[in-house]
Amino acid sequence: MKPICFSSPLAERMDSFVRLRQASGRDYQSQAYLLGRFDRFLIEEGFNDNLITRELTEGYQQALTHLAQTTRYIRFCVVRQFCEYLALDDPQSYVPLPMRHVSTRGARVPYIYSKEQIKSLLQAAGALNTENSLFPLTAKTFLGLLYTTGLRCGEALHFNLEDFYPQKSALYVREGKFKKDRWIPLSASTCQALETYVSRRIETHAPREAPLFVNPRGSRLEHHRIYKTFRRLLGECQIPHPPGSGPRLHDFRHTFANHRLLQWYREGEDLNTHLPALATFMGHAHIQSTQVYLQATPELIEQVDQRFHTHFKKHIQNKGNPS
Alpha-carbon separation of residue 177 from 33, 71, 173, 284, 321 (angstroms): 17, 19, 10, 9, 54
Helices (H), the chain: 11-23, 29-44, 54-63, 69-89, 115-126, 135-149, 153-157, 188-201, 223-236, 251-266, 271-281, 287-291, 298-320
User: Given this model, what pLDDT does residue 305 score?
Assistant: 64
Domain 115-243 has CATH 3.30.465.10: no
Instruction: Please name the helix (run of DSSP H) or strand (run of DSSP E) that holds residue 172, with its range, or none.
Output: strand 170-173
Distance CA 3, CA 17 (A): 14
For the segment 58-90, what is each residue's pLDDT rounded down to a tens digit?
A: 999 888 887 777 788 889 999 999 999 999 988
* Nearest of 57, 54, 55, 41 to residue 9 by alpha carbon: 41
Sheet containing 170-173: order of strands: 164-165, 170-173, 182-185
Give the pLDDT score at 319: 59
Q: What is the pLDDT of residues 24-67, one digit of tens each?
A: 777 778 888 899 999 999 998 889 988 899 999 999 988 888 77
- Which helix (H) or strand (E) covers residue 170, if one does? strand 170-173
pLDDT tens sequence for the chain (323 residues) = 456 789 999 999 999 999 998 887 777 788 888 999 999 999 988 899 888 999 999 999 888 887 777 788 889 999 999 999 999 988 889 999 887 655 555 557 889 999 999 999 999 999 998 888 899 999 999 999 999 999 999 899 999 999 999 999 999 998 777 667 899 999 999 999 999 999 999 886 677 779 999 998 888 999 999 999 999 999 999 998 887 667 999 999 999 999 998 888 888 888 778 888 888 889 887 777 787 787 777 776 676 666 655 655 565 656 556 55
What residues contact 135, with CB distance under 8 A and at least 6 apart? Answer: 128, 215, 216
115 contacts: CB under 8 Å, gap ≥ 6: 259
Q: Are 253 and 152 in contact (CB under 8 A)?
A: yes
pTM here? 0.65
- Look at residue 102 and give its three-state secondary structure: coil
Contacts of 314 (CB under 8 A, 6+ apart): none
CA distances from 168 to 111, 148, 270 (A): 32, 17, 27
Say which residues have a Cβ less than 8 Å from residue 220's Cβ, sequence separation at least 6. 157, 211, 213, 214
Residue spans of the domains in the chain: they are: 11-89, 115-243, 254-320
